[in-house]
Structure 1
Amino acid sequence: MADSRPTVLLVDDEPLSLETMTRILDERFDVRSALDAEQAERILTEEWVQVVVSDQRMPGTTGVELLAIVRERWPDVVRIIISGYTDAEDIIDGINRAGIYQYITKPWHPENLLLTLDNACRLYQLQRENERLALENRMSAASLERRLSQQRKQVRRNFRLDAVVRGPNSPLHAVCDQLARVAPYDIPVLLTGESGTGKELFARALHYNSLRAERPFVAENCGALPDQLLESELFGHRRGAFTGAVADRVGLFEQADGGTIFLDEIGDVSPAFQVKLLRVLQEGEIRPLGTNQSRRIDVRVVAATNRDLDQAMADGCFRPDLYYRLAGVTLQLPPLRERPMDIAPLCERLIENTAAAFGIAQPELTEAALAQLEHYPWPGNVRELANEIQRLLVLGNGRPRLGVDELSPRIRGASAGEAGMVPPNASSCAAQDEVTVTAAALSLKDRVEQLERQILCETLEQCGWNKSRAAQMLDLSRVGLNKKLERYRLKQTAG
């Protein structure tokens, strides 16, 4: 009888590592192994493989290079990388080139490895089932309409106001009540609050609880682009309107026609662009770059800012007439430090979502750890909390309960009301650079590098700053470790 177990291909240049993984996986999977990329490609050509698990550091072809080949020749195969150290460049390269499903870090835990591969095989089967259904249905108009309707219903359920995570007596109750009263009426809304307080979440909730819920919701960070690019993004352009405009582009205002457009960081736009935006809001028309023809639009505008617009108007940096066009109703979102009762339910939801995304077991927080999280002032708000939960799960090594010792040094050292101060007995590595930029202002690469620095610190402290042991644990050469220490300016200090 043919083996009905899913086939997994393991690729590693170390025979002992292959033998260990094979012994763990053999009961549940039909395991094939290869010592290099050439053997792996031969097996993929000859056999039906569902998942490829490749070590990153191999002589010749690296894991990312191999998985990029797999992505091109066998796109249905789910791709997983194993690395002794999640270097920021490796992660970005793996995502862009190889389309990896999951990173597994060394030393890996057998249960986490099995769970990740179970999820990968399930993903493979779902992809195949989806392809089969797509071929059967041929995407008829009726079936597509039903599918879109179901997706809309699911999105609306996800953004119900009673689904907003909050604790008893939370200040968010008042915000949600205000939003529920405002949502049905076609009036512009201005969301204010610190970065990371969830302004885009509430903008989406506003849209999906409004009469425009069946129409598009689009978002743009207005502080991230210079005027010409922002004008092109929002209003569109004709081919040849400026250098690099090689094709016509439909702007976000036009894409959102009938729905809602969310203008984030509206307080950062230049005075010149404020005039152009005011004209669009007053006239209900856009004029794409490179054309004299105006187009009517029907959109609801929801704007957000972490700036004090009253002060900006007093300083002459923000136009009062634009402000009154945007602030039909103003909703102030409280920072996380003002709602500690929300920490516990937020942690529960973030742990659940992060564990599912990473394919790992879902741990619990001890009461002491939760109390410490509630005392920390969270300058980066919910985004910083989400970053901390991700870090906890990544470094938790599959432990079922995570305590105070697993928290970041800045959080362990914080007492109620203190903004992440480090006590005198804090680790030298952590105390050297506690002015870490919060996750709210970081790009993906910056956040990965911040996590990389934290892993270096904790590993060195665990090894008593024995660099040889630390390099071995991180699967780095001694030279490679020293380069990273120089890059992040890490050094051991006295005491």
Structure 2
Amino acid sequence: MNVSKPTILIVDDEVRSLEALERNLADEFDVQIAANTTEAEQILADHWVQIILCDQRMPDKSGVEFLIEVREKWPDVIRIVISGYTDAEDIISGLNDAGIYHYVTKPWHPEKLIITLRNAVSMFELQRQNELLAIELRVSERAAKKKVSDRRQKLRDKYDFDDGIVRSKTSPMNAVCNTLSQVAPYDLSVLITGDGGTGKELAARAIHYNSLRWNRPFAVQKCGSVLPEVLESELFGHKKGALLGAVQDYTGLFERNQGGTILLDEICDISPAFQVKLLRVLQDGEIRQIGSTQTRKTDIRVLASSYKDLEVEVAEGRFRQDLFFLLAGVTVQLPSLRERREDIPLLANYLLKQAVAGIGKEVSGLTTEAISCMKRYCWPGNVREMQNEIERMLVMGTENELLGADLLSPKVLMSASPDEADDLTLLGAGIGTLKERVEAIEVKILRESLIRHRWNKSKASRELGLSRVGLRGKLERYQLEQEKAPSQ
């Protein structure tokens, strides 16, 4: 493999000096020679020169004067002056004006000169690499900015009110999304209430990504079960030594997310003392780190969520009324999953798609019977509970097949059907005769056993201690039969 030699240009009006330099350097360098600056300029124009070794005393112009011109036209070339004179002014001018790399005095020592030139070649290569890295960094920065912008746009699309929040055409969530879409563009405070797992954080993200702050950060701070001083530090920051274990200054979420949005989750659980501090921040738009005497302006939109009714908390003296009014510019109540049963088929398939992507196990979908059982169940844990249930079904199911109702938890299988909506009341409120209550329990047990055994009547009858004839009679009596998938 042939490796090209670095090119060096020697400029000197003395022929013997040129010959001596060329003879000593030819083995290691591609040597170009010029007897005057005119020839040197032509060589610089025609060749890729890495190093120029120029005599200081020449008839037409000095070496420093020529290297000043070289610096303007060919700034990458490493410039070296060689001279038998050591005039201090020449040296200073060469360093300042011509940007010379080295000043070699005559008579020069061949080995020392070669070492100097080798170092100059290394310097040239480092400069080249630095330039390439700078270009790459500029390109990478643009690519990184584009990547961040694309991801933010994907997030915005994900939380779009029309496509991002899964619901049916007749869902109670439609009215909620309409309210959220109306308040999102304005810097109003929004209080989002609802049972655990109803999607309060999802609603807050949807507000943020449909607001004018959508390209700024979004942060969530859990307030429940957090010590007041820890919560204050997380939100507003602290100075070194202000808290036990605070070995350095800490910047809180309010400063780190300037221009963005913060969701204060479980705001109902904050202490009375912290309520006062949060009230002051929201009123004044200023924060003060723990241990600091200075306040700092903050520009951030505050959203809050609560699983408790804050109006009740205010009425009973556990939550400040003035803070409530600051947080609840608009209040949005999210319906529980049992109030939006028409959304369950769409939501179940959406959550299954997410679970498949996360776990990496492909299945064909959910059976009609599985969806029907899900619609019967009351889902006290709401969407979060359904997500866990579907992930469990996916793990327990067979790859590339439909996930059947037999994979559901017993608590889901034992749920009441829509046409038996009064069963729970019958059993728990002392309503109905003994016969009606016993039959309601019997129906649940029969259905759960049959579904778990995939409607294999032999297995179900053996488990229940019934004959096949006896089981068939009960199925006819209660009109229980396996749900079939709708015809295509």
**What range describes the TM-score normalised by the shorter chain of this pair?**
0.5 to 0.7
Work out whether residues 285 and 296 of structure 1, in 8 Å CA contact, stay in contact via their aligned partners in 2: yes
> Is 1:230 the equivalent of 2:231?
yes
**Structure 1 counterpart of 2:155, one-letter code:** V
Residue 307 of structure 2 is matched in structure 1 by 306
CA deviations 1:136-193 (Å, max 9, x no partner) are 9446332222222112111111111112101120011111111111111111000010
Residue 377 of structure 2 is matched in structure 1 by 376
Gap regions ≥5 residues in structure 1: 1-133, 432-460, 465-495
Residue 83 of structure 1 is matched in structure 2 by none
Residue 144 of structure 2 is matched in structure 1 by 144
**Structure 1 counterpart of 2:246, one-letter code:** A
Closer/same/farther in 2, CA of residues 136 and 338 from structure 1, 3 Å limit: farther
Shift of 1:399: 5.7
**Structure 2 counterpart of 1:221, one-letter code:** K
CA deviations 1:411-436 (Å, max 9, x no partner) are 00011457899957999xx99xxxxx
Residues 411-490 of structure 1 mapped to structure 2, 5 A cutoff: 411-416=412-417, 417=421
Identity of aligned residues (%): 48
Work out whether residues 218 and 262 of structure 1, in 8 Å CA contact, stay in contact via their aligned partners in 2: yes
Residues 218-367 of structure 1 mapped to structure 2, 5 A cutoff: 218-367=219-368
**Structure 1 counterpart of 2:206, one-letter code:** A
Shift of 1:249: 1.0
Question: Equivalents in 1 of 2:185, 2:290: separation in Å?
Answer: 33
Question: Equivalents in 1 of 2:288, 2:280: separation in Å?
Answer: 10
Question: Equivalents in 2 of 1:425, 1:415: separation in Å?
Answer: 9
Question: Equivalents in 2 of 1:414, 1:135: separation in Å?
Answer: 65
The DSSP-based 3-state class of the residue aligned with 1:262 is strand
Residue 153 of structure 2 is matched in structure 1 by 153
TM-score normalised by the chain length of structure 2: 0.58
Residue 171 of structure 1 is matched in structure 2 by 172
Residue 54 of structure 2 is matched in structure 1 by none
The DSSP-based 3-state class of the residue aligned with 1:290 is coil
CA deviations 1:330-381 (Å, max 9, x no partner) are 1110000000011011111111111121111123221111111001010000
Closer/same/farther in 2, CA of residues 424 and 274 from structure 1, 3 Å limit: farther
Question: Equivalents in 1 of 2:190, 2:403: separation in Å?
Answer: 41
Question: Equivalents in 2 of 1:388, 1:288: separation in Å?
Answer: 43
Q: Which has the higher contact order (CA 8 A, sep 6+)?
A: 1
Work out whether residues 220 and 262 of structure 2, in 8 Å CA contact, stay in contact via their aligned partners in 1: yes
Question: Equivalents in 2 of 1:426, 1:242: separation in Å?
Answer: 57
CA deviations 1:195-237 (Å, max 9, x no partner) are 0000000100100000111111111011131101000001101
The DSSP-based 3-state class of the residue aligned with 1:211 is coil
Question: Equivalents in 2 of 1:338, 1:187: separation in Å?
Answer: 28
Residues 11-22 of structure 1 mapped to structure 2, 5 A cutoff: none
Question: Equivalents in 2 of 1:220, 1:135: separation in Å?
Answer: 39
Gap regions ≥5 residues in structure 2: 1-132, 428-439, 450-458, 463-488
State the aligned residue count: 300
Work out whether residues 191 and 305 of structure 2, in 8 Å CA contact, stay in contact via their aligned partners in 1: yes
Question: Equivalents in 2 of 1:406, 1:212: separation in Å?
Answer: 43
Question: Equivalents in 1 of 2:443, 2:209: separation in Å?
Answer: 50
The DSSP-based 3-state class of the residue aligned with 2:220 is strand
Residue 195 of structure 2 is matched in structure 1 by 194
Structure with larger Rg = 2
CA deviations 1:376-412 (Å, max 9, x no partner) are 0100000000000001001113261222211100000
The DSSP-based 3-state class of the residue aligned with 2:191 is strand
**Structure 2 counterpart of 1:322, one-letter code:** L
**Structure 1 counterpart of 2:231, one-letter code:** L
Closer/same/farther in 2, CA of residues 211 and 314 from structure 1, 3 Å limit: same
Question: Equivalents in 1 of 2:363, 2:317: separation in Å?
Answer: 51
Work out whether residues 363 and 398 of structure 2, in 8 Å CA contact, stay in contact via their aligned partners in 1: no
Question: Equivalents in 2 of 1:419, 1:256: separation in Å?
Answer: 48
Question: Equivalents in 1 of 2:443, 2:396: separation in Å?
Answer: 22
**Structure 1 counterpart of 2:170, one-letter code:** N
**Structure 1 counterpart of 2:180, one-letter code:** L
Tell me whether 355-364 or 418-427 shows the greater mean CA deviation: 418-427
Work out whether residues 363 and 402 of structure 2, in 8 Å CA contact, stay in contact via their aligned partners in 1: no
The DSSP-based 3-state class of the residue aligned with 2:303 is strand
The DSSP-based 3-state class of the residue aligned with 1:140 is helix
RMSD of the TM alignment (CA)?
2.8
Residues 54-133 of structure 1 mapped to structure 2, 5 A cutoff: none
The DSSP-based 3-state class of the residue aligned with 1:191 is strand
TM-score normalised by the chain length of structure 1: 0.57
Tell me whether 372-381 or 414-423 shows the greater mean CA deviation: 414-423
Question: Equivalents in 2 of 1:374, 1:136: separation in Å?
Answer: 58
Work out whether residues 187 and 328 of structure 1, in 8 Å CA contact, stay in contact via their aligned partners in 2: yes
**Structure 2 counterpart of 1:199, one-letter code:** K
